[in-house]
Chains A and B, each alone.
Chain A
Amino acid sequence: MRTLWVHLLVLLSANVVSAQQCDLVLSGKVLDFHDQSPLSGAVIEVTARDLYAQTDPLGSFTLKGLCPGVYELQVSHPECSTIFRVVEISEDSEIKISLEHHIEELEEVLVTGESDPNEVASQAEAVLNTETLREFSGASLGDALKRISGVNSINTGSNIVKPVIQGLYGSRVIVMNNEVRMQDMEWGEEHAPTVDINAADRVRVLKGSSALRYGSDAVGGIILMEGSLFPARDSIWGATQITGNTNGRGGTIGSEVNRTWDSGMYASVQGSYRRSGDLEAPDYLLTNTGTQQLGLSLEVGKRSFTSGWNVYYSYFDTDIAVLRSSHIGNVDDLIRSINSGEPEFIEPFSYDLAEPRQEVNHHLGKAEYFRRIEGVGKWEIQYDFQRNRRFEFDINRSSSDIGRPAIDLTLTTHTLQSFLTIDKFSGRKLEFGISGRYQDNFANPDTGVRRLIPDYDRYEAGAFGALEWELSPFWVFDGGMRLDFSRIDARKFYRTSRWNERGYQEDFGDIVVEDLGTQLLTNPVLDYTTFSVASGLSWIPDTQWTVGVNLSASQRAPNPAELFSDGLHHSAARIELGDLRIDKETSYKGAITANYNSQKLSAEVTPYYNYISDFILLEPEGVEFTIRGAFPVWNYRQTNAALLGLDVNINYEWTDMLSSQHQFSLVKGRDLDQDGPLINIPAANTRNAVQLELEELNNLRFGLESRYVFRQNETPENIIVFSPEQNQDVELEINTAPPAYHLMNFNAGLDFELSGKTTLAVNLRVQNLWNTSYRDYLNRLRYFADSPGRNWVLDLRINY
């Protein structure tokens, strides 16, 4: 195959050479897409030819001695992802190349390169670059993502942070780690993505579900964590970062080393470790909120224009203590916590991680190969393996059970997928892909606690096709469709009383395998076929404006929690109940993205409307009595829902030194069947920041950030429960939202050049500058304690 390709190439070039004069000049500029500033040091290589050029400080480059014909250019820059461009030259030409993904812009020459095969032209996309990510070295992915307008988080305390995109979270948001879809029990509200933010060089967020390559069920959006891209030249570089924080009296240390070779080989190793003790709210210590986290990743690969391979392995281990006071006995304890306004257990500072706590580890291995087929495009194949183990330790009644988890789940996933990108048609790019997945969940019976999630096997198969078409220099169309099939084959024990209460005997009587008296062993086998389509149209009237319209319909099969949840959650004193009858949900979403980019101003406004039929939600519904008293029952149910929202993002450069950022996001969620508000919808919020940067003074920088979160005024009604302690019905203020709050953050930094290639960046940050006491509506621990107060962070980063 390889020799064939070479022959072909030689044949082709020989043809060209013999027929034409070879004295053409291709010149151009390489610019940063975001602010259109010139990029110096970018390398432009004519692939398969020994011809390259580097950009000067003005971003300009010149390639001489070209013959008329079609060339493929590889454009790389240390801070941007490498892109490939196809240019057709018949006379001396000038081109402009924008690095850093984003919406494709008008080009003088036809461009069909694969800057990013997954990027969707008409859709809002936001990016966190390495610099921003490193600010959150001691925090989590979910915290960093809040920098993006329209992204919030749902928390369990400060250490368990799940991203919420345009009001949706959990299984509706896909997290991709290095092209691998994370399979980490994302269904639980208290399950954070098991990824190390220190391993990512760039994080992109695609709002909406258009990137069908990754799956059809990302009704909310997709978070793409990406590693470094490695240039094909002999080099070695790395970085070490040490962060210390006062709140929690902890710190993070992280390091990475990268090696690249001329041959296109590369190798990279990265690790980070974080330790922190009890956090502190302004008025009291948050007993048992420490954390410990370890992340490791290794990558080896080889990449050339024609082919490449990559092997990646990462390990992530996190041990998170959950606020002691949040572990409660029954509804009276909850009422007491809500009324007291202060956590019940306040003990001296400690690094101990005591019960309740979680321990999760995640192994991820990936092998990938691609080959570019001349005249066709690019073919990729990828296999990945993941093993996610989750332990949850509750406070046991008996001290003899200490150290014995209440939850012990092992989720093992194998995925094989293949993609074919066809870029031989100028102005049109086609992409096809198929994928297969097998997943096994094992719930260890040694816990002595009934399984919250049963043992199951899941099989998935999917296929998709997508098209990106430049209709004219001003119009780009993209569209695609995806078909998925999934089967869950579970082995679940039901309490006979629950089986009868749900009325399952009539509908599911035939799945009972064995009757054990008080329990029934069942074998539910559930099949789902989901179909998704997405299309978008972008209008690019000039280099400054882009207006895109995106329409999509996507279906999501229910996750195991929605189907099978069955038990008591001590962390929130609630009984959670899934339902076997839950069927797939269908989302219809329309969004408009208006984007303006000039030298000084960049602005983006994204209004959207999302109608979801058979939306699956979890809501407090009633109460059940046990010997411990009453417990609110949280039931999964389906309804028709609508989300209407607006995200605004404005950046303005006042002078060379002074810039500011303004963001606002608002989303309204309605339960259309019950004509009431949806639960857990983020409150409107606005973020405003100013940054002063003096380049000549060692990049001396100061920044001030204000984050204002409004009160969520639209929440479902509270429920009425019987309190044995008070011997009467009382209102349980389980849905009442806490008041609005305003946080100020400060940062200052300096860069030093230690030697030729070694730089040191020193940053000081103060979070929650005024030590404001607040609680957030989307924090599950808001019933029990305030959020953390002021935190000083000192951060040293050496790049070498």
Chain B
Amino acid sequence: MYNTNNTKTMNSGKITLKLLALIAVFGFWSCSDDDDPAPIDEEETITTLTAVLAETGGSTITLQSRDLDGDGPDAPVITVSGPLAANTSYAGAITLLNETESPAENITEEIEEEDDEHQFFFATTGNINSVTYADQDDDGNPVGLSFVLTTGDAGAATITITLRHEPKKPNDGTLSDAGGETDIAQSFTLDIQ
């Protein structure tokens, strides 16, 4: 009987050893798997919105919102190159870039190609008289890559530029009616002199 017991103990000992060996083998496999993963440049991000306001035969003012870290913690850097002239019409043009890629990807073209699924909205406060669309998609609905901004008397103003993806088209020109998903929503503070 003692003999049997001993055999058993030895046996379970062997089994434990085998087990440990197996676990060790797993460990071994995995250690060789040390390849560094490839970095990813965010492809869906828009980092930079630039709206150039050009006075006919006159100066240009640039509004820019630039967020190089995309969804990262840094807030977008908003710049306005200078004051606008009172009671003046400006031709506006919007450019969108993804600057996390190098060279920077021009997203404006993408919006142009799929203009029936996109629309910019312009909400203003203060001394801006009007913002009107200067472009259309194939269905005759506004897009907003080109627009005309008309200033009022001298004073303060803000403009919020919103880009919606898959909005209701046509809509009544308000964000709430358009719905869809927001791709861009940036406010600029303007000084009208």
Binding site for B on A (CB under 8 A): 1, 4, 8, 327-330, 332-333, 336, 344, 373, 376, 379, 381, 395-399, 401, 406, 414, 416, 418, 420, 434, 436, 438, 440, 443, 445, 447-451, 454-455, 457, 459, 461, 491, 493, 495-498, 501, 513-514, 516, 518-519, 521, 567-568, 575, 624-629, 631, 724-725, 727
Whether the pair A332, B70 counts as a contact (CB closer than 8 A) is: no
Min distance, Cβ A352 to any Cβ of chain B, angstroms: 16
Whether the pair B7, A336 counts as a contact (CB closer than 8 A) is: no
- Tell me the B60-76 residues at the A interface (CB within 8 Å): 65-76
Chain A: which residue is nearest B168 at the CB level?
A344
Per-residue CB contact flags for chain B residues 138-170 toward chain A (1 = under 8 Å, else 0) read 000000000000000000001010101110000
Whether the pair B73, A498 counts as a contact (CB closer than 8 A) is: yes
Whether the pair A724, B185 counts as a contact (CB closer than 8 A) is: yes
Whether the pair A416, B19 counts as a contact (CB closer than 8 A) is: yes
Interface size on B, residues (CB 8 A): 64
Cross-interface CB contact of A401 among B8, B44, B49, B179, cutoff 8 Å: B44
24 A–B contacts, CB within 8 A, in A order: A4-B4, A329-B182, A332-B175, A336-B176, A344-B179, A395-B181, A397-B110, A397-B165, A398-B114, A399-B117, A416-B26, A445-B38, A445-B39, A454-B37, A457-B33, A497-B73, A497-B74, A501-B74, A516-B39, A521-B36, A567-B71, A624-B75, A627-B46, A627-B184
Whether the pair B42, A449 counts as a contact (CB closer than 8 A) is: yes
The answer to whether A457 and B44 touch (CB under 8 A), given A1-B11, A395-B181, A495-B72, is: no
Residues in A with CB closer than 8 Å to B8 are 373, 376
Residues in A with CB closer than 8 Å to B123 are 725
Whether the pair B73, A501 counts as a contact (CB closer than 8 A) is: yes
- Can you name 16 extra interface pairs (CB under 8 A) apart from A4-B4, A406-B44, A447-B40? A332-B182, A333-B181, A397-B183, A398-B44, A398-B114, A399-B114, A401-B43, A440-B30, A445-B38, A496-B69, A518-B69, A575-B71, A627-B66, A627-B67, A724-B187, A725-B185
Whether the pair A497, B12 counts as a contact (CB closer than 8 A) is: no
A519 and B183 CA atoms in complex are apart in Å by 23
The answer to whether A498 and B69 touch (CB under 8 A), given A398-B110, A436-B23, is: yes
Residues in B with CB closer than 8 Å to A627 are 46-49, 65-67, 76, 184-186
- Tell me the B16-62 residues at the A interface (CB within 8 Å): 16, 19, 22-23, 26-27, 29-30, 33, 36-44, 46-49
A514 and B38 CA atoms in complex are apart in Å by 12
A416 and B26 CA atoms in complex are apart in Å by 10
Q: For the complex, is B125 an interface residue (Cβ under 8 Å from A)?
A: yes
Q: For the complex, is B15 an interface residue (Cβ under 8 Å from A)?
A: yes
The 10 nearest A-B residue pairs measured at CB? A329-B182, A448-B43, A329-B181, A629-B185, A436-B23, A501-B73, A625-B75, A497-B69, A568-B71, A495-B72
Cross-interface CB contact of A448 among B27, B40, B187, cutoff 8 Å: B40
The answer to whether A518 and B100 touch (CB under 8 A), given A626-B67, A626-B71, is: yes
Whether the pair A448, B44 counts as a contact (CB closer than 8 A) is: yes
Whether the pair A445, B40 counts as a contact (CB closer than 8 A) is: yes
A116 and B116 CA atoms in complex are apart in Å by 64
Min distance, Cβ B181 to any Cβ of chain A, angstroms: 4
Min distance, Cβ A458 to any Cβ of chain B, angstroms: 9
Residues in B with CB closer than 8 Å to A448 are 40-44
Whether the pair B37, A491 counts as a contact (CB closer than 8 A) is: yes
Min distance, Cβ B118 to any Cβ of chain A, angstroms: 9
Min distance, Cβ A393 to any Cβ of chain B, angstroms: 12
A420 and B13 CA atoms in complex are apart in Å by 12
The SS class assigned to the B binding surface is mixed
Binding site for A on B (CB under 8 A): 4, 7-8, 11-12, 15-16, 19, 22-23, 26-27, 29-30, 33, 36-44, 46-49, 65-76, 100, 107, 110, 114, 117, 123, 125, 158, 160, 162, 164-166, 175-176, 179-187
Whether the pair B160, A725 counts as a contact (CB closer than 8 A) is: yes
Residues in B with CB closer than 8 Å to A330 are 182, 185
Whether the pair B182, A629 counts as a contact (CB closer than 8 A) is: yes
Residues in A with CB closer than 8 Å to B26 are 414, 416, 436, 438
A624 and B65 CA atoms in complex are apart in Å by 15
Min distance, Cβ B34 to any Cβ of chain A, angstroms: 9
Chain B: which residue is nearest A324 at the CB level?
B166
Residues in A with CB closer than 8 Å to B100 are 518
Cross-interface CB contact of A491 among B36, B76, B117, B179, cutoff 8 Å: B36
A624 and B70 CA atoms in complex are apart in Å by 11
Min distance, Cβ B7 to any Cβ of chain A, angstroms: 7
Whether the pair B11, A461 counts as a contact (CB closer than 8 A) is: no
The answer to whether A497 and B72 touch (CB under 8 A), given A438-B29, A724-B187, is: yes
Residues in B with CB closer than 8 Å to A399 are 114, 117
Chain B: which residue is nearest A443 at the CB level?
B37
Min distance, Cβ A499 to any Cβ of chain B, angstroms: 10
Whether the pair A381, B182 counts as a contact (CB closer than 8 A) is: no
Cross-interface CB contact of A724 among B22, B47, B186, cutoff 8 Å: B186
Cross-interface CB contact of A628 among B125, B180, B183, cutoff 8 Å: B183
Whether the pair A521, B39 counts as a contact (CB closer than 8 A) is: yes
Whether the pair B42, A418 counts as a contact (CB closer than 8 A) is: no
Whether the pair A332, B185 counts as a contact (CB closer than 8 A) is: yes
Min distance, Cβ B138 to any Cβ of chain A, angstroms: 15
Whether the pair A498, B181 counts as a contact (CB closer than 8 A) is: no
A457 and B31 CA atoms in complex are apart in Å by 9
Whether the pair B23, A493 counts as a contact (CB closer than 8 A) is: no
Whether the pair A451, B40 counts as a contact (CB closer than 8 A) is: yes
Chain B: which residue is nearest A7 at the CB level?
B4
Residues in B with CB closer than 8 Å to A513 are 36
Whether the pair B42, A450 counts as a contact (CB closer than 8 A) is: yes
Whether the pair A459, B27 counts as a contact (CB closer than 8 A) is: yes
A577 and B174 CA atoms in complex are apart in Å by 34
A68 and B12 CA atoms in complex are apart in Å by 32
Cross-interface CB contact of A438 among B30, B68, B179, cutoff 8 Å: B30
A449 and B44 CA atoms in complex are apart in Å by 7
Chain B: which residue is nearest A333 at the CB level?
B182
Residues in B with CB closer than 8 Å to A498 are 69, 72-73
A434 and B110 CA atoms in complex are apart in Å by 57
Whether the pair A725, B40 counts as a contact (CB closer than 8 A) is: no
Chain B: which residue is nearest A455 at the CB level?
B37
The answer to whether A450 and B40 touch (CB under 8 A), given A395-B181, A626-B71, is: yes
Min distance, Cβ B41 to any Cβ of chain A, angstroms: 8
Whether the pair B175, A725 counts as a contact (CB closer than 8 A) is: yes
Min distance, Cβ A689 to any Cβ of chain B, angstroms: 42
Residues in B with CB closer than 8 Å to A519 are 39
Whether the pair B182, A626 counts as a contact (CB closer than 8 A) is: no
